[in-house]
């Protein structure tokens, strides 16, 4: 069988922050793909603002490197399980994977998630132990952990016989031994060329090209990125697009793009094994096959992970609606959500009985909060409800998503963490105490038990704990209350500006969320109550001025710092009867029913109906 020895296709997989994007940077620099005078950003692959700020890869990216006379196509995959939809499809485009593992932290939950997908596709693995220059690096133990993980995930003997490269992506060094480092990435390049199988060259056979990622460009419309599995594809060629619903559309290939470095370059043709982008198809979707009109043979459809979490997105109808946003109407919000569906295949948007509300389902809190944050930055104004897990019926049993949770925490906090996860119906499956004062705990927890847990966890461990979790599967629904907020809230009963005097009057009742001078309205949540019931407060109250001087006049009182919630914290904080109002400038929490009397009536009604 003929192979294309001038080509290798690999994906880089790793847990968030184990250095894979930095590693790709080094490979790009050292391969001479850039001109010497070319200005390149650090973490060049993370191209959008959110990726740079959070230091995570959200969208899969592809790049190509020339090393000697071999072209290496590299797919940089997201490490976070919420973007699993991207990972799964990339595994179809490549012949091998680089598993990057931190030399100190070892294997983590998301490493497990992504590796499982790679092993299922029977891909050839290479393990890169990165950050080998860390003072507390423990490469030998980390390799043992990796072997255990491979066995645990059912790797076959060939996969278990993986080569290991030790590297420091930051310093641009690599070697095949942990003790010494060479000042280049040659060890890694050579290992890739030696161990990753070259693509089969069947370019004489009829064309088969499958779309695995989508992109959109205002000038040329939708772009399908994928791999040519056999045959050749040329600009100007008339081809058939085999749709997922069984229909076939004909179109002409108007443009073809290959990849080199971080650029897309226009090419005239591509053949079996190449990763390319094809333009000219208006309605192309992920998983569809492009083939010749006279030889219509579809490739197996790609399976895409189903959403596990949903929220209702609504038009903002608070008293401050329309003040700060550019796009506030239901038409604009719906258009934006529909355009997100063009490139994000793990997202679902359904209409509701109301023209001003949509149910949006995604792969997790991070997946949805990234969408909301992007909309907010683009000038949209909207409201969202509390995130809820999607319950499915599997073999006649109501089932809910379960997450595998890994926690690294100082020894003294293990008791309180175990107790709080126990209350959230978590089941401990492993505990490792390696005598360094740090304990690693592993749990299986229903996904709804984790909504809102991150904030509580940070408080419990004084910020010293590290929490990682990834979707594991579905299990029968657990009855009773799981997780959720235990505290009530402080709700404003007046409209106006928060005053220092007003805030100080209610400080002892709980934690305040707003600063003096903030504009507030009736029904807006301004803090957390120390008890489990809601309390209406007036923090706009001003001090009465008199001409009598008090003896304590000159004593100054210090006001406590308010707790300002981030978008993720606000979403996690929500209860069933509350909304989060999101504008380009502000994030506010509010009650669904703003009027105090109406709210009390509704609560009584609900209580009666439950009895």
Q: Residue 363's Cα: distance from chain center in Å?
A: 8
Q: Would you say 130 is a known binding-site residue?
A: yes
Name the pLDDT band for 432 (thresholds 50, 70, 90).
confident
In this predicted structure, what is the pLDDT of residue 40?
41
In this predicted structure, what is the pLDDT of residue 590?
93
pLDDT tens for 598-607 read: 988 988 888 8
Name the pLDDT band for 51 (thresholds 50, 70, 90).
very low
In this predicted structure, what is the pLDDT of residue 548?
62
% of the chain with per-residue pLDDT over 70:
87
Name the pLDDT band for 520 (thresholds 50, 70, 90).
very high
Q: Would you say 61 is a known binding-site residue?
A: no
In this predicted structure, what is the pLDDT of residue 396?
86
Residue 45 has pLDDT above 70, yes or no: no
In this predicted structure, what is the pLDDT of residue 589?
93
Query: Which sequence spans correspond to the domains of the chain?
Result: 7-195, 208-292, 309-389, 392-476
What is the pLDDT averaged over residues 67-79?
Answer: 78
Q: Would you say 362 is a known binding-site residue?
A: no
pLDDT tens for 573-589 read: 888 889 999 999 999 99
Q: What is the mean pLDDT of the chain?
A: 81
pLDDT tens for 354-366 read: 999 999 998 777 7
Residue 370 has pLDDT above 90, yes or no: no
For residue 80, the tally of other CB atoms under 10 A from its CB is: 25
pTM of the predicted structure, to 2 decimals: 0.73
Q: Would you say 17 is a known binding-site residue?
A: yes
Helix (H, G, I), strand (E, B) or coil at 567: helix
Q: Would you say 132 is a known binding-site residue?
A: yes
* Topology annotation, domain 309-389: Alpha-Beta Plaits (3.30.70)
* Topology annotation, domain 392-476: Alpha-Beta Plaits (3.30.70)
Q: Would you say 295 is a known binding-site residue?
A: no
pLDDT greater at residue 463 or residue 353? 353
In this predicted structure, what is the pLDDT of residue 39?
41
Question: Which residues pair with residue 259 across a beta bridge?
Answer: 264
pLDDT tens for 304-336 read: 667 888 999 999 999 999 898 898 999 999 999
Residue 555 has pLDDT above 60, yes or no: no
Helix (H, G, I), strand (E, B) or coil at 6: coil
Structurally, what CATH architecture does the domain formed by 208-292 represent? Beta Barrel (2.40)
Name the pLDDT band for 43 (thresholds 50, 70, 90).
very low
CB-CB contact of 361 with 371 (8 Å): no
In this predicted structure, what is the pLDDT of residue 546?
66
Q: Would you say 20 is a known binding-site residue?
A: yes
Least-confidence region, from 49-53, 297-301, 558-562: 49-53
Residue 7 has pLDDT above 60, yes or no: yes
Residue 46 has pLDDT above 50, yes or no: no
The closest of 251, 259, 247, 248 to 215, measured between CA atoms, is: 259
CATH number 3.40.50.300 is the correct assignment for the domain at 7-195: yes
Intrachain domains 7-195 and 392-476 with the same fold: no
How far from 481 is each of 423, 424, 444, 478, CA to CA, in Å?
9, 8, 17, 9
CB-CB contact of 210 with 229 (8 Å): yes
In this predicted structure, what is the pLDDT of residue 484?
67
Residue 5 has pLDDT above 70, yes or no: yes
In this predicted structure, what is the pLDDT of residue 316?
93
In this predicted structure, what is the pLDDT of residue 468?
74
In this predicted structure, what is the pLDDT of residue 34?
46
pLDDT tens for 374-383 read: 899 999 999 9
What is the pLDDT averaged over residues 559-571?
Answer: 84
> Rounded to an integer, what distance in angstroms lies between the CA atom of residue 387 and that of residue 84?
19
Residue 193 has pLDDT above 60, yes or no: yes
pLDDT tens for 209-268 read: 888 877 776 677 778 888 888 888 888 888 888 887 778 888 888 888 888 776 778 888
Q: Which value, to the nearest 10 degrees, does the dihedral of the CA atoms of residues 544, 550, 552, 554 take?
A: 80
Q: Would you say 147 is a known binding-site residue?
A: no
Q: Would you say 96 is a known binding-site residue?
A: no
Question: Which residues pair with residue 537 across a beta bridge?
Answer: 492
The single-letter DSSP state of residue 517 is T
Q: Would you say 21 is a known binding-site residue?
A: yes
What is the pLDDT averaged over residues 108-131?
Answer: 80
């Amino acid at each position: 069988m003929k192979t294309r020895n001038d080509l290798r296709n690999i994906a880089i997989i790793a847990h968030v922050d184990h250095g894979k994007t930095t590693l790709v940077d080094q490979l790009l620099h050292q391969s001479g793909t850039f001109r010497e005078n070319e200005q390149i950003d650090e973490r060049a692959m993370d191209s959008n603002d959110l990726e740079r700020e959070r230091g995570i890869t959200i969208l899969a990216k592809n790049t190509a490197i020339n090393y000697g006379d071999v072209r290496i196509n590299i797919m940089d995959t997201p490490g976070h399980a919420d973007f699993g939809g991207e990972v799964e499809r990339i595994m179809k485009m490549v012949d091998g994977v680089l598993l990057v593992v931190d030399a100190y932290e070892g294997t983590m939950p998301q490493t497990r998630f992504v590796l499982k997908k790679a092993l299922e596709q029977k891909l050839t693995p290479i393990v890169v132990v990165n950050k080998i220059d860390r003072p507390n690096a423990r490469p030998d133990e980390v390799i043992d952990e990796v072997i255990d993980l491979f066995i645990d995930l059912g790797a076959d003997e060939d996969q278990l016989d993986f080569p290991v490269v030790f590297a420091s992506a930051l310093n641009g060094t690599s070697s095949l031994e942990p003790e010494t480092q060479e000042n280049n990435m040659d060890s890694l390049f050579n290992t890739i060329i030696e161990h990753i199988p070259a693509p089969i060259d069947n370019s004489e056979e009829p064309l088969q090209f499958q779309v695995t990622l989508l992109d959109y460009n205002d000038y040329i419309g939708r772009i399908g990125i994928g791999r040519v599995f056999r045959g050749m594809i040329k600009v100007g060629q008339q081809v058939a697009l085999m749709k997922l619903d069984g229909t076939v559309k004909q179109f002409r290939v108007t443009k073809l793009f290959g990849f080199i470095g971080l650029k897309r370059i226009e090419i005239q043709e591509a053949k079996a094994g190449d990763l390319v982008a094809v333009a000219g198809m208006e309605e192309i979707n992920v998983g569809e096959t492009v083939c010749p009109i006279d030889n219509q043979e579809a490739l197996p459809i790609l399976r895409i992970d189903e959403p596990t979490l949903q929220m209702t997105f609504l038009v903002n109808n608070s008293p401050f609606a329309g003040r700060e946003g550019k796009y506030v109407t239901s038409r604009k919000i719906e258009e934006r959500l529909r355009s997100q569906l063009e490139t994000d295949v793990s997202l679902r948007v359904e209409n509701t009985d109301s023209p001003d509300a949509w149910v949006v389902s995604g792969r997790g809190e991070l997946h949805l909060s990234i969408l909301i944050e992007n909309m907010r930055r683009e000038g949209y104004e909207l409201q969202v409800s509390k995130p809820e897990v999607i319950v499915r019926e599997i073999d006649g049993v109501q089932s809910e998503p379960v997450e595998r949770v890994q926690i690294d925490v100082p020894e003294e906090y293990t008791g309180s963490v175990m107790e709080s996860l126990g209350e959230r119906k978590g089941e401990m499956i492993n505990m490792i105490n390696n005598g360094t004062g740090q304990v690693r705990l592993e749990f299986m927890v229903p996904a709804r038990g984790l909504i809102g847990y991150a904030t509580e966890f940070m408080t419990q461990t004084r910020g010293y704990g590290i929490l990682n979790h990834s979707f594991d599967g579905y299990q029968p629904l657990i009855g009773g209350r799981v997780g959720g907020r235990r505290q009530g809230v402080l709700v404003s009963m007046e409209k106006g500006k928060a005053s220092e005097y007003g805030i100080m009057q209610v400080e002892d009742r709980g934690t305040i969320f707003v600063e003096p001078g903030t504009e507030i309205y009736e029904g807006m949540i301004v803090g957390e109550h120390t008890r489990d019931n809601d309390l209406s407060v007036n923090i706009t109250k001003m001090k009465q001025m008199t001409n009598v001087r008090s003896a304590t006049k000159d004593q100054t009182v210090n006001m406590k710092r308010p707790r300002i919630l981030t978008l993720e914290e606000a979403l996690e904080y929500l209860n069933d009867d509350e909304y989060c109002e999101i504008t380009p400038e502000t994030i506010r929490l509010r009650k669904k029913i703003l009027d105090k009397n109406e709210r009390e009536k509704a609560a009584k009604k609900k209580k009666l109906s439950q009895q």
